Structure 1
Amino acid sequence: MNLKSLKGIHHVSAITANAKDNYDFYTKVLGLRLVKKTVNQDDTSVYHLFYADERGNPGTDLTFFEIPRAGRTYVGTNSITSTSLRVKTDRALQYWKERFEELNIEHEEIKSDSGRATLFFRDHEGQRMVIVSDEKNVGGSGGTPWVKSPVPKEYGIVGLGPVQLTVSRPERTIHVLTNVMGFREIESYKRVEDQRIVRVFETGEGGTGAEIHLIEESELERERPGRGSVHHVAFRVENVDELNKWVEKLNEHHLPNSGFVERYYFRSLYFREPNGILFELATDGPGFEGDEDFEHLGEKLALPPYFESRREEIEAKLKPLETKN
């Protein structure tokens, strides 16, 4: 089977307990653009919000399912334990540090664990996040910050960076990453705060937007997800033909999976790696402008055509969320 390598991180999806507070933080504090306000296609009673660069280019999407009754996250192993957001330069991290101080956002000091300047912070619900500099990036490029963002363009977030996985049995995850998904192990480094070894895997062109950072943690119990936890990470597939080949490959490796799933804005395939973390493979297109024009992305509740006949019923279950640009 002639299968192309995965191109990098496509999106990361997390959980929020309050869509309005989430919208305020990610647009007004982080300066991302809401490119799509829609619903969870597996549970249309809750919002699914997509934040990204100016038009939601693949590799820039950070998405949230609203679960109003979501409790706190009990941090543990076999989970996605941090999501990083790319900026263009090391200098940008100083801007973000000062911005977080001004807005009373929990954060640490700027440091360099893996040779890149990084700044750890938490959002308003405790989600573990990192601003990471692209200054030394030699892989795939990032996106373009939205011109109407409250953050100056030169400091704006240009996409998703490395995703950190913490697992109890790393050899099982590594087998899937390397032998099934085609990732390459390229290096390891020690975290400054605890001297833990982090193993780095890359795919496609490599670089900031195409890496998984893996940590072993066998002492803790499995993480119990809640508000501020990450639901899944998705990886980029070029098109539908390639996605169908991935369905075949997962079946050949006897990995239980969803098969082809229509998401309208992209097409998907879901499976869990052996430590239980949910992975998705998602196509680069069609994108977010099929049902809204560029200037008005995210302003109205967007529904895929197969849900449009249920719009009145769906809207009645949702708390109104004002999202004018």
Structure 2
Amino acid sequence: MILTGLHHVSILTGKAEKNYEFYTKILGMRLIKKGVNQDDTTSYHLFYGDAKGSPGTELTFFDFPGLGHTYPGVSSISSTFLRVKSTETLLFWKNRFEQLGVKHEEIKTRANRDTLAFDDFEGTKLILSADNGEVGVEPGQPWNQTQIPAEHAILGLGAVILTVAVSEPTAHVLTEVLGFRFVGSYPSLVGNFPDIEVYATGEGGAGAEVHIEKRPDLPRERLGRGGVHHVAFRVPNKDEFTYWVKRIQQSGFINSGKVDRFYFSALYFREPNGILFELSTDTPGFDVDESVENLGEKLSLPPFMEHKRNEIEAKLRPLELKK
């Protein structure tokens, strides 16, 4: 039983409307699900992904208006990579960011890949990573109903960077509990700090990696808007999910147990540095209650919440997402 890669990354936003504008109009991602935070139904939960809402392509956002900003630090998911086709595509995005005033760096090498780091409007740290023909976890499918040319589309999640004060406990969980393997390292780009460690699972490649950055000089992160809430790893189906639930419980972690999110099954636990991990199934998928053609067009509620739709909608603030 192996985890096959990253499933999704969930982030906090204080402005869902502007968030929608940035991720669909500037980045050209598809809104594949407009739902609610199932643990706090007064909050929207927006999912962006590829053309089909494929596992391994989603950035998701919990909307909390008025939320304070993130104070960066350790015990955090400090950056999220997004896959693109090639270095030529990075040049396209660099030019686009310059035209649109998106804060970004120059193209730099990370983990032997050409990359382009940038921030969204709330300071979320994102990094475009060029596949350049690398084998590994398959990329997603370009969303063609956008002004971004298909050859330059964002194709799904790459790695996440975990920033910690002490790396060994997190590395131990990745390798000894979750089955990742150490595959190399690369120099830190922010100063004279230890090399960033790279761990991979499944078929490997950009969509199946976790990078650990050791920064003992930083305080603990104070999470707010623009900060990453958790990262989820892919489990192919419910049968294998049962194995992983048992494994996490036998490893002694305080955990959520099985949680039915309708679109996937989930389990949550914190690794020793306090970063929230989730294990999520690929099945049944985001098209279980909407056709692929109509993903994200209405407020989606799982069947076990449908009887409360009127009550839930009454407590949600109006949300105008302009196509």
TM-score, length basis structure 2: 0.98
Deviation at 1:136, TM superposition (A): 4.3
Deviation at 1:175, TM superposition (A): 0.8
Distance (whole Å) between structure 2 residues aligned to residue 135 and residue 194 of structure 1: 27
1:141 aligns with 2:138: yes
Distance (whole Å) between structure 2 residues aligned to residue 283 and residue 31 of structure 1: 26
For structure 2, the 5+ residue unaligned runs are none
Deviation at 1:251, TM superposition (A): 1.6
Which one of 36, 45, 54 corresponds to residue 48 of structure 1?
45
The share of aligned pairs that are identical, in percent, is: 55
Q: Which amino acid aligns with 1:255?
A: F
Distance (whole Å) between structure 1 residues aligned to residue 189 and residue 302 of structure 2: 45
Range with greater deviation from structure 2 (44-53 or 282-291):
282-291
Which one of 61, 67, 70 corresponds to residue 70 of structure 1?
67
For structure 1, the 5+ residue unaligned runs are none
Deviation at 1:322, TM superposition (A): 3.4
The equivalent of 2:305 in structure 1 is: 307
> Is the contact between residue 76 and residue 221 of structure 1 (CA under 8 Å) also seen in structure 2?
yes
Deviation at 1:288, TM superposition (A): 1.2
The equivalent of 1:244 in structure 2 is: 242
Deviation at 1:256, TM superposition (A): 1.2
The equivalent of 1:95 in structure 2 is: 92
The equivalent of 1:19 in structure 2 is: 16
TM-score, length basis structure 1: 0.97
Distance (whole Å) between structure 2 residues aligned to residue 285 and residue 251 of structure 1: 22
User: Where does 1:269-308 land on structure 2 (aligned, <5 Å)?
Assistant: 269-308=267-306
* Secondary structure, aligned partner of 2:277: strand
Distance (whole Å) between structure 1 residues aligned to residue 312 and residue 134 of structure 2: 43
The equivalent of 2:5 in structure 1 is: 8
Q: Which amino acid aligns with 2:248?
A: L
The equivalent of 2:122 in structure 1 is: 125
Distance (whole Å) between structure 2 residues aligned to residue 263 and residue 195 of structure 1: 43
> Is the contact between residue 116 and residue 136 of structure 1 (CA under 8 Å) also seen in structure 2?
no
Q: Which amino acid aligns with 2:7?
A: H
Q: Deviations over 1:225-256 (max 9, x none)?
A: 01100000000001111111111111211111
* Secondary structure, aligned partner of 1:285: strand
Which one of 99, 102, 105 corresponds to residue 105 of structure 1?
102
Which one of 212, 219, 222 corresponds to residue 221 of structure 1?
219
Deviation at 1:319, TM superposition (A): 2.1
Runs of 4+ off more than 4 Å: none
CA RMSD of aligned residues (A): 1.1
